[in-house]
Amino acid sequence: MEVEKIFAPVCIPTLSRYEHFKRCLESLERCTYADKTDVFVGLDYPPSEKYVNGWKKIDDYLAEKENHHGFKNLYVRRRDHNCGVGKLNSNSMLLYKEISKSNDRYIFSEDDNEFSPNFLAYCNWGLEYCKKDERIIAICSFNLLKTSLKTNNNVYIYNNAYCAWGSAFLIERKERLNSYYDFKKIKLLVDSYPLSIIFNRKVVLVGSLLYMLKKKVIQGDTILQVIPDDKKWCVFPTESKVRNWGLDGSGVHDGTDKSYQNQINLSIDMNSDFEPSIEEELFSPEITNAFNAEFKANYRDWLRSIVRFTFYKLTGRIVLFDKPKWMNK
């Protein structure tokens, strides 16, 4: 007897980036299995006047889409106040809390992603696959490696990286991350590190944790790094299922013109369905070597983290070295 497929719901938080959001939703609508997928959109309330125009465009667009769309269901949650991003009760966290009440899995996307036609097929396959492997915490849709891996597989796993550009979780695995979404716990964790950590590459992680404490924001990719190594593996495709349009400076993350152009011109998988090809182990030393070569230590960040942590240990205060205001004009 064939087991019935389970299709994970998708949640997308958004605010005012109309063109990005429209591209994201419509690429998702063209995916195989879109008609079997529930989509939850959280439309945040504008925090200031400059966001109102884009917010109105998205609100009007969604009013039309609610009646004519290609999904199983499209649920729109309009916030009556600004919930923000990176907070414990952010727009995305409210969507997660709603979805997790009646689902054992979900797919998360920021509003600036454009997806391959087989994005949903890939995510749903990955969620079933990771049920068999307790190490795996997330299914990621973007291949972080620019170099081609010498592998017969079309997917691989790695335990020291995560990308939120279209990621899927089993709810009980997501709780591994959420258990650290607690600023008191993060502070205790930082306090547990000895000053000698400044001689270790891990000081960059500690510097990022201090940044989160100061700014009172949660960064999932940083939190992932504090999870024990045997519990934070992620699945990646060898051919990306997503390109990101958000490196244009319109969101909370900065980008350069070069990184933006690289992303919007990125070749992604255009197949309509996804079939896993796994002929050998999903992890190999070559993968570690490729990541180490791709993401070499940024010595400026390293030095900044050393100073930040040392200053914190000596004074109990956190310094961030923000850019002078004139540099942001």
Query: Residue 216, by phi and psi: left (phi above 0), alpha (psi -120 to 50) or beta?
Result: left
pTM: 0.91
User: Please, are residues 301 and 211 in contact by the beta-carbon 8 Å criterion?
Assistant: no
Q: Using alpha carbons only, what angle is made at residue 238 by residues 232 and 242, rounded to the nearest 5 degrees?
A: 85
pLDDT at 287: 94
pLDDT at 258: 74
Place 326 in a pLDDT band, splitting at 50, 70 and 90.
Answer: very low
Phi, psi of 225 (to 5 degrees): -70, -20
pLDDT at 329: 35
Going from the N-terminus, what domains does the chain have, and what CATH number goes with each?
10-181+229-283 (3.90.550.10), 182-217+295-321 (no CATH)
pLDDT(259) > 90: no
pLDDT at 251: 66
pLDDT at 322: 58
User: Please, are residues 270 and 155 in contact by the beta-carbon 8 Å criterion?
Assistant: no
Distance CA 131, CA 114 (A): 27
pLDDT at 297: 73
pLDDT at 323: 47
- Region 61-85 average pLDDT: 96
pLDDT at 324: 42
- Looking at every residue in the chain, the average pLDDT score rounds to 91
Distance CA 239, CA 117 (A): 13
Identity of the residue numbered 305: S
Distance CA 175, CA 26 (A): 30
| 259 vs 103, residue with greater confidence | 103
